[in-house]
Amino acid sequence: MTDIVNTEQAAAWNGPEGAHWAEHNPADGGFNAELTAPLLTAANIRPDDHVLDIGCGTGETTRLAARQARDGHAVGIDLSAAMLQQARAAAEAAGLGNVAFEEGDAQAYPFAAGRYQVAISRFGIMFFADPVAAFANIGRALRPGGRLVFVCPRSMADNDWYVVPLSALHKRLGTATLPESGMFSLADPAHTTDVLTRAGFSEVTLRPLDAPMDFGADAHAAADGYLGSGPVLAVLEQPGGLTRATARDLLADALRPYESPDGVRIPGGHWLVVARRPTENLSARGAHRPRPGR
């Protein structure tokens, strides 16, 4: 096992949250499936590319990348053993011979330097304790000129899928505002540009991307999907808080207005972020070194 520096994240994604995600986000078509096509279009993967998928989860985007990089290969890295187990099984079932999965922390994993032309991520890069160190580590894995392409949520206010169900629970608890979440750590475009620049990337662009999130066939299925998510587990763990049954009813009531013939679809606002590892020698500029105290 390689170094894990994001130990809380590793515990969550290897514990109930990861198991729940693996169950409710099947290997294909998870809640953020609408983000896949824009991500892969921007990644522009070529047949002989080597692709790294950060926080790959159950590996849908890794497998799609491997299909595009048919003469190259795709590697997914994730903290969660349970999710990687599904990812490997799905790749094997699909008969993909050019895909592999690594269990590890992308912030510290000893990637082969300059191995990949493209690094992608669908919602797997918001949870780093030290984002500059993490993106610098990912940058080292890229060839000079290589591309980093990811999607992440914009602000909480842009994401009804997060705010609406959680507010229903917090309102019942008497909490005035929702607690901050690592989910939105890259919401501020100036901050994200600064992080990526300090990590050694250049040509950073952020494009708003609005796409609904899918939460299952009806409000009860959607409520079950939310019940084991990190933010809802945090509510359920509060002493004297809500029972699971009450939380499920509150979630279902909040989600019912979003029921449609296509299932429960709730608006989401995201960034599509593209950056490049410069072609010049970064270490000569010290660009990978995080600033002290940050």
Ligand X SMILES: C[S@@+](CC[C@H](N)C(=O)[O-])C[C@H]1O[C@@H](n2cnc3c(N)ncnc32)[C@H](O)[C@@H]1O
Does residue 106 interact with ligand X by CB under 6 A? yes
Does residue 77 interact with ligand X by CB under 6 A? yes
Tell which one of 128, 150, 201, 258 touches ligand X (CB under 6 A): 128
Distance (Å, rounded) from C-alpha 13 to C-alpha 22? Answer: 10
Does residue 268 interact with ligand X by CB under 6 A? no
Nearer to ligand X by Cβ, of 103 and 259: the residue is 103
Q: Which residues are CB-contacts of 161 (< 8 A; sequence separation ≥ 6)?
A: 31, 212, 213, 215, 266, 267, 268
- From the number of C-beta atoms within 10 Å of its C-beta (0-12, 13-18, 19+), residue 220 rates as middle
Nearer to ligand X by Cβ, of 90 and 264: the residue is 90
Residues in 46-75 at the binding interface with ligand X, rule: CB under 6 A: 55-57
Tell which one of 20, 63, 96, 105 touches ligand X (CB under 6 A): 105
User: What tokens appear for 20 in the block?
Assistant: 């729940």
Q: Which part of the chain contacts ligand X (CB under 6 A), choosing from 39-47, 117-125, 197-205, 244-252? A: 117-125
Does residue 214 interact with ligand X by CB under 6 A? no
Does residue 162 interact with ligand X by CB under 6 A? no
**Minimum CB–partner distance for residue 106 and ligand X (Å):** 4
Query: Which residue shows structure tokens 């190259």?
Result: 72
| Best CA proximity match to 151, nearest among 53, 267, 24 | 53
Q: Which residues are CB-contacts of 260 (< 8 A; sequence separation ≥ 6)?
A: none
Residues in 30-49 at the binding interface with ligand X, rule: CB under 6 A: 30, 32
Nearer to ligand X by Cβ, of 34 and 78: the residue is 78
Residues in 7-26 at the binding interface with ligand X, rule: CB under 6 A: 9, 13, 25
Does residue 225 interact with ligand X by CB under 6 A? no
Distance (Å, rounded) from C-alpha 203 to C-alpha 235? Answer: 40
Three-state DSSP class for residue 212: coil
**HSE-up (13 A, CA, CB side) for residue 48:** 0
β-sheet bridge partners, residue 100 = 75
**Minimum CB–partner distance for residue 172 and ligand X (Å):** 25
Does residue 6 interact with ligand X by CB under 6 A? yes
Binding site for ligand X (CB under 6 A): 6, 9, 13, 25, 30, 32, 55-57, 77-80, 83, 105-107, 122-124, 127-128
